[in-house]
């Protein structure tokens, strides 16, 4: 449930950034996205043991 809400907020934020066409915003989106993937992979690695 929380993941769905977070995903919707992330999509909304990404859409707003897409409208602004700001390169700085795109860099921020990629930084945020890669950080989320990194944290997710760590979480999976920890809990899968």
Please name the residues in contact with 26: beta carbons below 8 A apart, sequence gap of 6 or more: 17
Six-digit token pair at 20?
């602004």
**CA atoms within a 13 Å half-sphere pointing along the CA-CB vector of 27:** 3
- pLDDT given at position 3: 61
- pLDDT given at position 9: 73
- pLDDT given at position 33: 87
- pLDDT given at position 38: 93
pLDDT averages per 10-residue partition of the chain, 49 residues: 64 71 72 90 88
**pTM for this prediction:** 0.46
């Amino acid at each position: 449930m929380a993941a769905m809400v977070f995903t919707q907020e992330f999509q909304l934020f990404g859409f707003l950034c897409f409208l602004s066409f700001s390169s700085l915003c795109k860099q921020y989106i990629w930084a945020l996205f890669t950080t989320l993937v990194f944290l997710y992979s760590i979480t999976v690695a920890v809990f899968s043991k």
